[in-house]
């Protein structure tokens, strides 16, 4: 789910290196949960935070135990990376809002055949009327150009299938992108989309349906890529550093806000300022690499939980955010940090002290 994130920090870092400030800010943001539709389509209260439920491990709790842990901690939203019937059954009737990915592997089929989208909705959404589906993510961090070409047709076909099933107003269709689809992110007011030929039509679709853009936002990778210019305290919501953006007149005290506000600037530049942002992943590893300690992970994740309800300097109000991730996953490939993003261990004990 997040294996390609490391590149995002390095690519995005180049803009920062040019800035003559004691530290560089990256527009990053985390979001707090807005009203969740329950199974009857009514709205519930503001949800401050969700958590991604990654499952790349051989020692993880059962879906029913996972849902019980979410409920016991007061976590009101979940992201899953593919439809999984046991998870959906366990979520039924809980009121936990769900962001569900289709899985990148099915994009070509959904893009090429409206009947495949209808079959997908029939198999993965309609059998679960008690699940509070909020968003369907059509693609997660799709980087290859061939794959990117399938995203918008698949989104349109799924939107049509949901509408035909009577779910068009309640379940929003979007795609989850890496932060580095935005470039020139320092200062935040300079943010623009790197490839508007790709992103522009997607943004127009989101504007027409009222769905948000889902963005994975990781100050950790920005910090890891340029620790000389980005201060650890600025990256982890710890006071002591401020950055002024002369372009918008705003002051930033943390990297997350700066990153998210660069996304808002890019949406304005793309002439789709009404598209909302949902932070579909954000987190900090507790072991396995540079800056990856339990102390830093706790500072970042607790800071995120405490912060997102108020939004960013540019956009106040709850910013819906999904923390990555619920559990440490022992079978994830790639950098060793990939196994240590969890808030909890597989035995359901806390990886470090955290309050929701």
Based on the residue annotation, tell me whether 141 is a catalytic residue of this protein: yes
User: Widest CA span of the chain, in angstroms?
Assistant: 56
Half-sphere exposure (Cβ direction) of 89: Cα atoms closer than 13 Å: 7
Token pair of 185, please?
A: 């992110």
Q: Report how far apart, in Å, the C-alpha atoms of 212 and of each of 100, 158, 169 are.
A: 14, 16, 13
Of 29, 84, 141, 338, which residue is the catalytic one? 141
Quick one: 41 exposed, middle or buried, by C-beta within 10 A (0-12, 13-18, 19+)? exposed
Coil, helix or strand at residue 55: coil
Residue 158 backbone phi and psi in degrees, to 5: -70, -40
* Spatial distance between the Cα atoms of 55 and 57, rounded to a whole number of angstroms: 6
Q: Which residues, in sequence order, are bridge partners of residue 193?
A: 182
Rounded CA-CA distance 38/41 in Å is: 5
Q: What's the Cα-to-Cα distance from 131 to each of 77, 138, 170, 250, rounded to whole Å?
A: 11, 19, 12, 40
Indicate which residue of 29, 84, 268, 281 is catalytic: 281
User: Using CA atoms, how far apart are residues 139 and 280, in angstroms rounded to an integer?
Assistant: 12
Answer whether 312's CB lies under 8 Å from 255's CB: no
Q: Which residue has the tokens 């600037």?
A: 265
Burial of residue 217 (number of CB atoms within 10 Å: 0-12, 13-18, 19+)? buried
* Residues belonging to the active site: 141, 281
């Amino acid at each position: 789910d997040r294996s390609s994130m490391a590149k995002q920090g390095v690519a995005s870092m180049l803009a920062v290196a040019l800035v003559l400030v004691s530290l560089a800010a990256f527009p990053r943001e985390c979001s707090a949960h807005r009203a969740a539709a329950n199974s009857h389509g009514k709205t519930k209260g503001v949800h401050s935070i969700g958590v991604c439920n990654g499952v790349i491990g051989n020692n993880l709790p059962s879906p029913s135990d996972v849902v019980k842990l979410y409920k016991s901690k007061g976590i009101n939203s979940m992201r899953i990376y593919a439809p999984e019937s046991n998870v959906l059954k366990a979520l039924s009737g809980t009121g936990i809002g769900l962001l569900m990915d289709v899985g990148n592997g099915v994009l070509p089929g959904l893009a090429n055949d409206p009947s495949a989208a209808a079959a997908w909705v029939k198999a993965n959404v309609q059998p679960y009327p008690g699940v509070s589906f909020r968003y369907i993510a059509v693609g997660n961090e799709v980087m290859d150009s061939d794959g990117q070409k399938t995203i918008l047709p698949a989104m349109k076909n799924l939107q049509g299938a949901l509408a035909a099933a009577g779910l068009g107003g309640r379940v929003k269709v979007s795609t989850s992108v890496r932060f580095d689809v935005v470039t020139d992110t320092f200062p935040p007011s300079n943010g623009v989309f790197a490839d508007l030929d790709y992103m522009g039509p997607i943004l127009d679709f989101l504007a027409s349906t009222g769905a948000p853009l889902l963005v994975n936002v990781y100050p950790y990778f920005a910090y890891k890529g340029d620790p000389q210019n980005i201060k650890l305290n600025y990256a982890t919501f710890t006071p002591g550093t401020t950055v002024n953006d002369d372009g918008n007149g705003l002051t930033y005290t943390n990297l997350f806000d700066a990153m998210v506000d660069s996304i808002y600037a890019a949406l304005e530049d793309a002439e789709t300022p009404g598209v909302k942002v949902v932070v579909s992943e954000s987190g900090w590893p507790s072991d396995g690499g540079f800056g990856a300690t339990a102390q830093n992970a706790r500072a970042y994740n607790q800071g995120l939980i405490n912060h997102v309800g108020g939004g960013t300097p540019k956009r106040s109000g709850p910013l819906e955010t999904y923390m990555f991730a619920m559990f440490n996953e022992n079978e994830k490939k790639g950098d060793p940090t990939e196994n240590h993003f969890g808030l909890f261990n597989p035995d359901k004990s806390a990886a470090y002290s955290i309050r929701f």
